[in-house]
């Protein structure tokens, strides 16, 4: 009798551990989220409308009045602008990430995941990977639109791919901020609002849409040390677009390194906080 009893497996979830297990579980969750996104094409369509509107409005409404260096040529401003629009697009994915996680929490899906023998951090990692894939597709379409309005790269395809890599790294970093917000609020609506309200000052107090040298000294200092500005400046250098900064701030002098360092630090900090919040929320 005891032999039969000992042979019966435990009904509870098996403890999951190890990097391999965590990677497999994360990919399974990512696949689930990608399938869900593909069945709701409106998410992709609405996600594209806003950045395309920004491209058109800033290019044609403000393009003739913006001074870049010594030039007010609208074509110069369009090339200056696009790195900022790309960076804004990947960071605004934060709101979607937060709302998606908050929705899963609200519907009890996270509790069902928790009952399975899977790595704890896989739920959040899988979600952020799926959001990264969606962001990459959005970025691809936006790049095509940018080419249609006159944006061009001048430093070769490899440097351009490096710039898009930095953009995706920044976007992935910010999705972890969204994950933490999604776990900290009660409804998807609150997550969307919480994910956007702080993004506007981050993206607009930067060098994305105007030359930071034209700002007042204290505001220019904030913009030059903004992690968002570092990625924008790095992309301009790698694309060969106008907007070389005259600032002596270290992130503006070494924007590629600054962009990588900022993004990695954001991932390390907010992933740690998000996983800790997830464990306490589902304990």
Instruction: Evaluate whether 127 touches 30 at the Cβ level (below 8 Å).
Output: yes
Which residues contact residue 177 at a Cβ distance below 8 angstroms, ignoring those fewer than 6 apart?
94, 195, 266, 270
**Contact present, 51 and 143 (Cβ < 8 Å):** no
Q: What is the pTM of this model?
A: 0.84
- CA 60 to CA 63: how far, in whole Å? 5
Element at 257 (helix H, strand E): helix 255-281
3 state SS of 166: helix
Distances (CA, A) of 117 to 28, 272, 277, 279, 280: 13, 21, 19, 15, 18
What residues contact residue 140 under an 8 Å CB cut-off, 6+ apart?
none
List Cβ neighbours of 69 (8 Å cut-off, separation of 6 or more): 76, 211, 242
Per-residue pLDDT of the chain (283 residues; tens, 9 = 90+): 444 444 434 444 444 456 777 788 888 788 887 787 777 777 777 777 877 887 878 777 776 667 676 666 777 888 888 999 999 989 988 877 787 788 777 777 666 776 667 776 788 888 888 888 888 988 998 898 888 888 889 888 999 999 999 999 999 999 999 888 888 887 878 887 777 888 889 999 999 888 888 888 999 999 999 999 999 999 999 999 877 777 889 999 999 999 999 999 999 999 999 888 887 765 5
Q: Say how many C-beta atoms besides its own lie within 10 A of residue 43's C-beta.
A: 15
Residue count of the chain, please give it.
283
H/E run at residue 223 = helix 217-224
Cα angle for residues 185, 189, 193 (degrees, 5° grid): 80
């Amino acid at each position: 009798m005891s032999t039969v009893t000992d042979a019966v497996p435990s009904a509870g979830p098996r403890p999951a551990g190890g990097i391999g297990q965590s990677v497999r579980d994360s990919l399974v969750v990512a696949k689930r989220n990608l399938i869900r996104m593909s069945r709701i094409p409106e998410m992709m369509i609405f996600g594209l409308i806003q950045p395309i509107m920004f491209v058109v409005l800033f290019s044609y409404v403000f393009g003739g009045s913006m001074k870049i260096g010594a030039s007010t040529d609208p074509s110069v401003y369009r090339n200056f602008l696009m790195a900022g629009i790309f960076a804004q697009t990947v960071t605004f994915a934060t709101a979607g990430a937060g709302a998606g996680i908050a929705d899963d929490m609200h519907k009890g899906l996270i509790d069902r995941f928790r009952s399975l023998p899977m790595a704890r951090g896989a739920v959040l990692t899988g979600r952020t990977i799926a959001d990264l894939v969606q962001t990459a597709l959005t970025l691809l379409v936006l790049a095509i639109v940018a080419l249609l309005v006159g944006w061009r790269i001048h430093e070769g395809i490899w440097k351009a791919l490096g710039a898009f890599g930095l953009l995706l790294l920044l976007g992935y970093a910010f999705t972890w901020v969204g994950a933490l917000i999604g776990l900290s609020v009660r409804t998807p609506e609150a997550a969307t609002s919480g994910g956007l309200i702080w993004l506007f000052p981050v993206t607009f107090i930067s060098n994305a849409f105007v030359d930071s040298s034209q700002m007042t000294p204290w505001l220019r200092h904030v913009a030059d040390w903004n992690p968002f500005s570092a990625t924008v400046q790095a992309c301009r250098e790698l694309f060969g677009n106008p907007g070389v900064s005259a600032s002596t701030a270290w992130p503006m002098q070494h924007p590629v390194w600054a962009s990588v360092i900022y993004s990695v630090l954001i991932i390390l900090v907010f992933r740690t906080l998000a996983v800790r919040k997830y464990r306490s929320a589902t304990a």
